[in-house]
Amino acid sequence: MRQNFILFIFGIIIAFSSCRTDFDTVASSGDLKFSKDTVYLDTVFKNIGSSTYQLKVYNRSKNDISIPIVQLKKGLNSKYRMTVDGMSGNQGKIFKDVTLLAKDSLYIFIETTADITDADPADFLYTDEIQFDSGANLQEVALVTLIQDAVFLYPNQNPDGTKEKIQIDDKDVDGFYLEENELTFTNQKPYVIYGYAGVPENKTVTFEAGTRVHFHANSGLYVGNKASLQINGTVSTTEKLENEVVFEGDRLESIYSDIPGQWKSVIFEKGSANHSINHLTLKNAFTGLEFRSPSNTIEIKNSQIYNCAEYGILAQNAHIIGENMVINYSGIASLSCVYGGNYNFTHCTFNNNWSNSSHFAVNLSNRLSGAVPETNPLTNAVFNNCIIYGSSTNEFNLEKSTNAAFVYQLNNCLLKFGSTTNADYQFKTDTEHYNNIILNENPKYYNVSRNQLNIDKTSSAFAKGNPAYIIPTDILGITRTSPPDLGAYQSKDFPK
């Protein structure tokens, strides 16, 4: 009986202890430690919310402490907002009596949504501080965000509250047609596009050198029937690509710099015409450039496409002349030419280091599932002085139907392909389709994971090109030597 009574008393003590909500704490003495003294929230466009950034706060002492106040210095007027150990406080701005146990830490998560008018007009920085305590015990952590002004293009709102639509593939999608005064994109400010921006019939959209275009999620550019696109980038002299035309997503934080599928595509509809692309850098789309049987020849020069969830270029019965092109990291194929067409690529680097093995650097086909008729002639597909490489065993794929022509030829190319008895892939003996093929030798790119596909003199592509196909300058405007290197880059010495 006595034993049961002792257990009863012990249980009551435990119950009361577990229900206590207060702690024996001491006031903070201003000795908090932080994972960083400044939180940089990277660059954001005006009025577009940032990613969430974290700050860790440490109590190194042996005492449980109470921080009387954790707040943003600008108080309720601050454009920052935060949570402190899961608590939202007063509008995410002010938190009182925050407990931090001995030898423990807490997380603060910070976000911002600010306008360009909130930033310092001298440097476009929006700043604030997180304050811990006050008076003699005050400690602060700085917050810094660069707010970038931009031209925003988006669908109008209809009277019934729905968004403006355009038709793509017989479906209504959020989008709008560019007005006459919107058809020339300049380098004065970056552009942010919501939905599909359509180019009207018989109009040309022009992108001047240095233009930056950022596409929101599920957005893109639609060049419709009888419409045209001209990209007039030029050679840049620095790594900032100051004269390049750049298409990418609208999340500017560094963690988004290489994430595929952030926006949709640039679509060239059947019947569109007179396209020219020079010095374009396109990143992080689902499909970079999608050609749907444009009316005449498209020239693509000195351009690079990276990190596309499906295709870098998907060309359907198109006529493309490509020079000094680089494509890398595509979920299905870096270059896929389907349903026939006519293609000529010289000094191009088609690489694919996508993480799975079911991809190609180059895919050629004269058929299209579901089309009527299903096949269409591939009248020509020529690759001169090119590199076709990647992380898969076979980076070159042919899908041939005997119901239509299939004409192709690779001259002086470095190619990755495993051994096979298939008659279509006899690279050393089939001289009708393959001449001077370097098979399965590493081109030794400078840094493939960062899309730096430059080569040096140790590369298997060094001085292996045929001078008969030479393009005088490479993608960076550097004069090629003779015999030229394969691919889009003239070799150079890399920094040690």
Q: What is the pLDDT of residue 20?
A: 39
User: Is-contact 232 245, C-beta < 8 A?
Assistant: yes
Residue 494: pLDDT band by 50, 70, 90 thresholds? confident
Mark whether 99 and 50 lie in a shared domain: yes
Average the pLDDT over 172-193 and give the result: 96
496 domain residue, yes or no: no
Average the pLDDT over 302-320 and give the result: 97
Mark whether 278 and 300 lie in a shared domain: yes
Mark whether 187 and 93 lie in a shared domain: no
Q: What is the pLDDT of residues 113-129, one digit of tens each?
A: 999 899 888 878 999 99
Mark whether 141 and 170 lie in a shared domain: no
Mark whether 135 and 170 lie in a shared domain: no
Average predicted confidence (pLDDT) for the chain: 92
Tokens 């994430």 sit on residue: 259
Q: What is the pLDDT of residues 197-242, one digit of tens each?
A: 999 999 999 999 999 999 999 999 999 999 999 999 999 999 899 9
Q: How do strand 304-308 and strand 280-283 relate by DSSP bridges?
A: parallel
Q: Which token pair is 51?
A: 């990613």
Range of the domain at 298: 151-469
- Look at 62 and 1; give whichever has higher pLDDT: 62
User: Is-contact 195 173, C-beta < 8 A?
Assistant: yes
Longest dimension (CA), the chain: 105
Tokens 């270059």 sit on residue: 335
Q: What is the pLDDT of residue 158?
A: 81
The beta-carbon contacts of 76-79 under 8 Å, at least 24 apart in sequence, are 78/128, 79/112, 79/113, 79/114, 79/118, 79/126, 79/128
Residue 335: pLDDT band by 50, 70, 90 thresholds? very high
480 domain residue, yes or no: no
Q: What is the pLDDT of residues 97-108, one digit of tens each?
A: 999 999 999 999
Q: What is the pLDDT of residue 46?
A: 85
User: Is-contact 272 228, C-beta < 8 A?
Assistant: yes
Mark whether 129 and 231 lie in a shared domain: no
Burial of 162 (0-12, 13-18, 19+ CB in 10 A): exposed
* 40-49, 292-301, 428-437, 456-465: least confident range: 40-49
Mark whether 116 and 160 lie in a shared domain: no
User: Is-contact 474 490, C-beta < 8 A?
Assistant: yes
Separation between Cα atoms, residue 407 and residue 411, nearest integer Å: 14
463 domain residue, yes or no: yes
Q: What is the pLDDT of residues 478-488, one digit of tens each?
A: 999 999 999 99
Mark whether 311 and 173 lie in a shared domain: yes
- The set of residues, in sequence order, having a beta carbon less than 8 Å from that of 429 and lying 6+ positions away, is none
454 domain residue, yes or no: yes
* 154-168, 224-238, 379-393, 434-448: least confident range: 154-168
